[in-house]
Amino acid sequence: MIAKARTQFLEYLKEQGLKWTLERERIVQEVFALEGHFEADDLAYRLRKKGSRTSKASIYRTLPLLVKAGLIKEVIYGERGQHYEHIHDQKEHDHLICLKCGKIFEFEDNSLRKIERKICEERDFLPQKVLVEIFGYCKKCQ
């Protein structure tokens, strides 16, 4: 997966006239070593812990490039900040987010997808991004 993502990102950077740097290499390697959702600060912490001198600024500049390259997507805009996740052939899903512990639960619901499509079709609207985020308290935190 990492090799494929790296190649796709290299091609995207080349198309955009941007350079491949050691910092971007480290960021890509770490992003695709992660599982589940992550924040930019999580990524910075993990890189620092491994002895990398990759700056937070480079991380914050690179993550949107990875989004535009179609490798990761932005999800969850809650109180705890922007989260990201890998795209790699994922089914569409949504999120339940615990306000107390911050745990994120993913769920899939085909009836919700149908409603989203119906709403857009009725309004002749072409969706580019649909996010369903339900904030509340998990069973443990209730």
87 touches 71 (CB < 8 A): yes
In the chain the first and final C-alpha atoms are separated, in Å, by 38
Closest alpha carbon to 84 in 50, 100, 127, 69: 69
62 CB-side CA count, 13 A: 27
Domains along the sequence of the chain with CATH: 2-86 (1.10.10.10), 94-136 (3.30.1490.190)
Closest alpha carbon to 3 in 28, 40, 21, 22: 28
Beta pairing partners, 135: 97
79 touches 99 (CB < 8 A): yes
pLDDT of the residue at 76: 66
Between 133 and 49, the higher pLDDT residue: 49
Instruction: Decide: pTM greater than 0.95.
Output: no
Q: Which segments of 17-73 does DSSP mark as H helices, in order? A: 22-31, 40-49, 56-68
Q: pLDDT-based confidence at 80, cuts 50/70/90?
A: low
Percentage above 70 pLDDT, the chain = 92
What would the pLDDT profile of 3-59 be if each residue is shown by its tens digit?
888 898 999 999 999 999 999 999 999 998 888 788 899 899 999 999 998 999 999
